A and B are shown apart, each in its own frame.
Chain A
Amino acid sequence: MQAVQILINALVLGSLYACIAIGFSLVWGVLNVINLIHGSFIVLGAYLAFGLYQSLHLSPWYAIVVAAPVFFVFGYIVQRLILNRVITAPVLVTLTLTFGLDLILNNAMIYFFTADYRRLTLIPPLGSVSFEGVVVPVDRLIATATALALTGLLYLLLRRSRVGRAIVAVRLDRDAAVLMGVHVPSIYAVAFGLGAALAGCAGVLMALIFPISPLTSTAYLGKAFVVCVLGGLGSVSGALAGGMLLALVESVGSAFFGPAHATTLSFLLLIIFLILRPQGLVGRKGFE
């Protein structure tokens, strides 16, 4: 039974990891920018859910509906006003720029919300379902389902909508997309906005399960990065596969070695993947 429990935990965790990573992966894949603000976006989303629940008693699933457009607009503006100016510069410049933006956002959060850990506790609590000794809390189940739904939604958006096809086109061949009449700067802004919206939604889901503090943003960022590398860049299925793999390794690893070595384990996994299969689980070579 313990094996099943570990597997279920990994599934729950994996879908959340996928949700964290997918916006990051989109931005990295399309814009070729490592978005170091991603972790702070997630924490900000968690604070949004926390604030809405505290002040208006709005449940986190409604908070997602608020978070998505708010974060989209926020991300769109950041990309349009700041990042688009240096988008063609070398890696170091965009990386350091997003780091600077992250410092500003994170410090603002510490200033306004303090670094204390907070907890969103639903009243009344949702309880948990158990089946033959396997216990899963209901809030985690809901978070998992929502995370998977968001992933599916993004997939549909990229597949079916005009904007989605344009994003994929820019990712595949920027110059050809320009020739086909795609306005690249605004597609960049839309992609970054989508990434921010997904981060915000992921943050809302995280608020359901984990304590909230500005200090946790780097941990989320690290997870997003590892998932991206494991799964392959800029693809929805890649993020899902990478998230599941990371969660599985972490769950099994902490069952065997203890939870204190989780970062080292995921780093080792990362290095192994970077050396043996840099294109990721489902990625194709040369498709960066």
Chain B
Amino acid sequence: MSRSNIALLVLIACVAALPLFGGAYALRLGTIACMYAVLALSWNVVGGFAGYPSFATAAFFGFGAYCGGVLMGKGFPLWAAAAVAGLLALVSAVALGAVLLRLRGHYFAIASLSLAEVLREVVNNATDLTGGGMGLNIPLASGAGVMAEATFFFYAMWGVMLITALMVIVVANSKLGFALNCIRQNETASSMVGLNTTLAKSIAFGLSACFVSVAGGIYAAWVHYIDPSDVFDILYSVKPIVMALMGGLGSPLGVACGAFMYLGLEEVVWRNYTHIHTGVLGVLIVMLLLFLPHGLSSLRFDRLWRRTKHV
């Protein structure tokens, strides 16, 4: 196992100690941090490893939230509902991927972007099952105190993050990861030497959808109330990309760090600029892409006090 992957696991282990130090607010932030890390790490399998600009994260997040919410409404326990949501997302994403992943570049980006819109419309129209635009109430998990529940959901999300990180590390070191790497560099050439590119891409898409969906299911149980415009928010698709770009595309450690950093920035911006927080987010994105296109990991502090040499 490479050094950066060990560092990633150490980082995750450190996050687990949060309940020892923080109160309810810190736990809330920690839960969101874990959720963002799951989204970003999952996105990285398709976007970072295979180089396919997927905007489908919001679609699968909403899918998982609604799947989990509906199942919990029918009396399933949280873990079972989340597992079913993940499995369903895995199966449907692999099937959908076989179609959508025939597209490349811009075409794939927008087709995956519209996936969330379609699911949102389906959920809006299936009023009997999902409550439509009225949203869906999810029964409270337990009668335990506020702190106990906050800790429970923090560890649930943390567990998903750990499993996602392990999945990403396993994929990166497996034949699948090698295949995805080949696809990113030259898809035509890799299919010519006998690689089943469609299968590899579809599995990657399915894996990334699966963990996002589980995170969505836990999110639904955590907030007790979901509605289509909340869980199918297009920002859920864009934030993981920004996190990955921030931390450095393709490296799991960088992506996880990017997620935590992004949450920090978002929290500061949200607190100080409630009315214009999306605008400030936009400025951040633009600045990041213009001045640090390879992420914060490409920042060289020694360059700050040395003159740049133009080649």
A residues sitting closer than 8 Å to B (CB atoms) are 28, 32, 34, 82, 85-86, 89-93, 95-97, 99-108, 111, 218, 222, 225, 229, 260-261, 263-264, 267, 270-271, 274-275, 278
Contacts and interface: CB of A to CB of B under 8 A. Distances in A.
Given A96-B289, A103-B278, 17 more contacts: A32-B106, A86-B290, A86-B293, A91-B106, A99-B282, A100-B284, A101-B286, A102-B282, A103-B281, A103-B285, A104-B286, A106-B278, A107-B282, A108-B279, A263-B118, A271-B100, A274-B102
Interface stretch (B22-30, B192-200, B213-221, B237-245): B237-245
B122 interface: yes
B283 A100 contact: yes
Nearest to A225: B110
B121 A97 contact: no
Interface string B260-302: 0000000000000001111101111110011001000000000
Contacts of A86: 289-290, 293
A160 B284 CA distance: 42
A27 to B, nearest CB: 12
A82 B286 contact: yes
Nearest to A106: B278
B107 A271 contact: no
Nearest to A104: B282
Nearest to A102: B282
A215 B284 CA distance: 22
Contacts of A275: 99, 102
A274 B118 contact: no
Nearest to A258: B125
27 contacts: A32-B106, A82-B286, A82-B290, A89-B289, A90-B51, A91-B53, A92-B47, A92-B241, A96-B241, A96-B242, A96-B245, A96-B285, A96-B289, A97-B289, A99-B238, A100-B281, A100-B282, A103-B278, A107-B282, A108-B276, A111-B279, A218-B234, A222-B114, A261-B125, A274-B107, A278-B103, A278-B107
A181 B225 CA distance: 61
B109 interface: yes
Nearest to B283: A104
Q: Which 3 A-B pairs have the closest CB atoms?
A: A103-B282, A100-B285, A107-B279
Q: Name the residue among A34, A86, A102 with the largest chain B CB count within 10 angstroms.
A: A34
A263 B238 contact: no
Interface of chain A, helix or strand or loop or mixed? helix
B77 interface: no
- Secondary structure type dominating chain B contacts: helix
Nearest to A85: B290
A96 B285 CA distance: 8
Contacts of A92: 47, 53, 109, 241, 245
B110 A107 contact: no
Interface string B100-137: 10110111011100100110011011000000000000
A267 B53 CA distance: 19
Interface in B76-98: none
Contacts of A105: 282
Contacts of B110: 34, 225, 229
A274 B111 contact: yes
Contact of B276 (A85, A107, A264): A107
A99 B278 CA distance: 11
B276 A111 contact: yes
A91 B52 CA distance: 9
A91 B293 CA distance: 13
A171 to B, nearest CB: 15
Contact of B111 (A90, A108, A271): A271
A260 B121 CA distance: 8
A93 B239 CA distance: 14
Contacts of B281: 100, 103
A34 B103 CA distance: 15
A103 B279 contact: yes
B275 A111 contact: yes
Contacts of A101: 282, 286
B282 A229 contact: no
B293 A93 contact: yes
B31 to A, nearest CB: 25
Nearest to A105: B282
Contact of A97 (B100, B114, B117, B286): B286
Contacts of B109: 34, 91-92, 95
A115 to B, nearest CB: 11
